[in-house]
Structure 1
Amino acid sequence: MSLDNLILLTGRTISQGVALEGGKASRENVRACGICTFDADDFKKLDCLVGTPVKVITDYGEVVVYSTITEEGPHQGIIFIPMGPWANQLVNPSSQACGTPTYKGMKAKVEVVKSGKKGE
């Protein structure tokens, strides 16, 4: 199953800040940053369980992260990935002369990953 025409937002989270104390490569950081958060109604359309790997695709790249449902909302059509190595693979690298890439408002597509095999 997949969802098209989503808007990707990135940002910092409290759990991400706590996890960084253990280092960027720590298990806690992967759990805090290697996720994509969905609106509950959008998540139902994916027909998968929380924690299922999903591939997020933008015009600038793609990444596989773990799925989760937001505790806030509703905000149908919007997904959130915490800033970090996963989000950085999806954003427009052009800083438009301001030194910072665009971290909010990118069009995205999400696909459920059927297995752990690369390319699926």
Structure 2
Amino acid sequence: MIDVTILTGRTLQQGIGLEVGKVSEEYSKSVNYAEISKSDSIAIGFTDGSPVEVTTEIGKVVLHGRISETLSPGLIFVPYGPWVNQVLGPDTNCTGTPQLKGVRGKLELAEGKNVPSIHDLVKIIRGA
């Protein structure tokens, strides 16, 4: 397990997925992953495509991991969406927007765990 700082943002693939629909496979694939630096992937014994678990004081989520050649060690990138929302807090500090960048968390391999589907996430959010 390593300490990480979570960065979020939009991607081109996410925009395409949104056009197809938020319950589509295209959309899910465009937002249910975390990009991890090459050196961090080595530190946790990660191979590209393996599931990883991201944990913050708010919650945790399993994501598909992708190795990034451009991210600095200690940073992960996760696209905006329902998966990353499981680890981001709702507090806006009077700005109207929650903290979406610079959130501290932990990253580890999620061996034996599956990335939840959008339908599974809805059940989690509803408390089912």
Q: When the two structures are superposed, what TM-score results if normalisation uses the length of structure 2?
A: 0.83
Question: In structure 1, what is the equivalent of residue 18 of structure 2?
Answer: 20
Question: In structure 2, what is the equivalent of residue 31 of structure 1?
Answer: 29
Question: In structure 1, what is the equivalent of residue 103 of structure 2?
Answer: 106
Question: In structure 2, what is the equivalent of residue 77 of structure 1?
Answer: 74
How far is 1:56 from its partner? 0.3
Larger fraction in helix? 2
Aligned residues: CA RMSD? 1.4
Q: Work out whether residues 90 and 98 of structure 2, in 8 Å CA contact, stay in contact via their aligned partners in 1.
A: yes
Listed as ranges, the gaps of 5+ residues in structure 1 are: none
Give distance in 2, aligned partners of 1:66 and 1:74. Answer: 16
How far is 1:116 from its partner? 3.0
Aligned residue-pair number:
114
How far is 1:48 from its partner? 2.5
Superposed, which structure 2 residues align to 1:61-76 within 5 Å?
61-71=59-69, 73-76=70-73
Q: Work out whether residues 31 and 78 of structure 2, in 8 Å CA contact, stay in contact via their aligned partners in 1.
A: yes
Question: In structure 2, what is the equivalent of residue 87 of structure 1?
Answer: 84
Question: In structure 1, what is the equivalent of residue 124 of structure 2?
Answer: none
Listed as ranges, the gaps of 5+ residues in structure 2 are: 115-128
How far is 1:74 from its partner? 4.2
How far is 1:18 from its partner? 1.2
Aligned residue identity for 2:61: V
Give distance in 2, aligned partners of 1:79 and 1:89. Answer: 15
Question: In structure 1, what is the equivalent of residue 4 of structure 2?
Answer: 6
Percent of aligned pairs with the same amino acid: 36
Q: When the two structures are superposed, what TM-score results if normalisation uses the length of structure 1?
A: 0.88
For 1:85, what is the secondary structure of its paired residue?
Answer: coil
Q: Work out whether residues 7 and 103 of structure 2, in 8 Å CA contact, stay in contact via their aligned partners in 1.
A: yes
